[in-house]
Amino acid sequence: MILCTFTLLSCKDQTNQNHTSDIVFPDSLVSFSKQVSPLFQQTCVAAGCHGGSQPAANLNLEYDVCWRSLIDFSPPIVLVKNGKNSPLIMYIDGSNRRSPRMPLNSQPLTTNQSNGIKKWIDEGAKNN
Reply yes or no on whether the pLDDT at 3 is more than 50.
no
State pLDDT tens for residues 51-108: 999 999 999 999 999 999 999 999 999 999 999 999 999 999 999 888 889 998 778 9
Please name the amino acid found at residue 51. G
Nearest to 55 by CA among 93, 12, 92: 12
Q: Give the CA angle between residues 95, 28, 72 to the nearest 5°.
A: 55
Reply yes or no on whether the pLDDT at 13 is more than 60.
no
Reply yes or no on whether the pLDDT at 122 is more than 80.
yes
